[in-house]
């Protein structure tokens, strides 16, 4: 579960997983859609963080920069609009073993929008974003299973 709804995440190690500071990338895609009575709303999110783990026994503090894109859409009665927000940010999380092969990873991220591209009923435009805006993301990862040897 993440800020955009249900997410599918992969994690790819860039260093040996037993390193004192493991480094990995963890691309993810997620979203949700709701519709009723000819009206619909959807959100799709894609993010690519580079993760740096700081070992604390069996657990880790995980820090990293991230690139993030949110895409929103809405439609009703023959009218539609959409927008995409391109952002950069950073996250911090804690990977805690809670069972033999289960980990919980709560995460907090701050993301700064760089720009927005939007359209309404087919007319497209690019809009700048006020640099004072910061978005807060909260997520909880659940990892079940052990990494292959």
Are 70 and 88 in contact, with CB atoms under 8 Å apart? no
Mean pLDDT of the chain: 85
Average pLDDT over residues 3-27: 85
The residue-averaged pLDDT of 82-100 equals 90
Strand partners, 43: 32, 72
Predicted TM-score (pTM) of the model is 0.74
Six-digit token string for 143: 């990892």
55 pLDDT exceeds 70?
yes
Residue 50's pLDDT band (boundaries 50, 70, 90)? very high
CATH 2.40.160.70 fits 6-144, yes or no: yes
Q: Which residue would you say has higher pLDDT here, 43 or 5?
A: 43
Output the DSSP codes for 68-119: EEEEEEEEETTEEEEEEEEEEEEEEEEEEE-SSSEEEEEEEEEEEEEEEEEE
CA distance 70 to 84: 5
Question: Are the CB atoms for 69 and 88 separated by under 8 Å?
Answer: no
Spell out the domain ranges in the chain. 6-144
Q: What is the pLDDT of residue 57?
A: 87
């Amino acid at each position: 579960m993440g800020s955009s709804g249900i997410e599918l995440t992969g994690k790819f190690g860039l260093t040996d997983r037993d390193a004192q500071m493991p480094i990995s990338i963890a691309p993810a895609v997620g979203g949700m859609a709701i519709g009723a009575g000819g009206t619909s709303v959807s959100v799709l999110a894609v993010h690519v963080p580079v993760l740096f783990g700081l070992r604390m026994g069996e657990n880790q503090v995980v820090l990293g920069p991230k690139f993030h894109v949110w895409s929103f859409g809405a439609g009703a009665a023959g009218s539609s609009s959409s927008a995409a927000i391109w952002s950069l940010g950073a996250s911090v999380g804690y990977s805690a073993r809670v069972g033999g092969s289960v980990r919980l990873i709560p995460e907090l991220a701050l993301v700064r929008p760089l720009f927005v591209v939007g359209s309404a009923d087919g007319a497209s435009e690019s809009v700048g974003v006020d640099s004072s805006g910061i978005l807060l993301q909260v997520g909880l990862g659940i990892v079940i299973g052990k990494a292959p040897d």
